[in-house]
Homo-oligomer: A and B are copies of this chain.
Amino acid sequence: MVILMNYSKQRELILNTLKENVVHPTAEYLYGKIKEKDPKISLATLYRNLNQLSDNGIIKKIDGLEPSSHFDHNTHEHYHFICEKCKRVFDISADIAPDLIKKTENSTGFEIQSHDIVFTGICKECKSKQ
């Protein structure tokens, strides 16, 4: 039997800190938060763990906010909205696109393993401030 991940204090801390955050933080932001609790933790450890956790489907990497990736502890099917003004990332319910996988697999013959939808625009709050 193959062991995928051994326990580590650092990984637990990283995952817990990510879960506490309503926002979808970058590695850099997370690093700041994590160092408050473990000032000796290395940036390499953070990146290593974020990659492992997302490779194993425990967290999700969000692209589309270059130059840095954002991370999401919510693995329930849902999508993202990035506000161009305040740069915050909002969750969007998966209800907006029912049967997306099935439809796409049927029309292409491809096997779909994962998918993400990223919307950009102006959020409600920023729109009312204009």
| A32 at interface, CB cutoff 8 A | no
Chain B residue nearest to A80 in the complex (CB): B115
**Cα A66 to Cα B114 with chains together (Å):** 16
Partner of A92, one of B83, B104, B120, B124: B104
**Cα A90 to Cα B123 with chains together (Å):** 30
**Chain A 97-122: CB-based contact to B (< 8 A → 1; otherwise 0):** 10010011001111111111111111
| A77 at interface, CB cutoff 8 A | no
Q: How large is the interface on A (under 10, 10 to 19, 20 to 34, 35 or more residues)?
A: 35 or more
**Cα A105 to Cα B129 with chains together (Å):** 18
Question: Can you spell out 23 A-B residue pairs with CB atoms less than 8 angstroms apart?
Answer: A63-B66, A63-B118, A64-B64, A64-B116, A81-B108, A84-B113, A92-B104, A93-B107, A96-B107, A97-B103, A100-B117, A108-B124, A109-B124, A110-B119, A110-B124, A112-B120, A112-B121, A113-B120, A114-B119, A114-B120, A114-B121, A115-B120, A118-B118
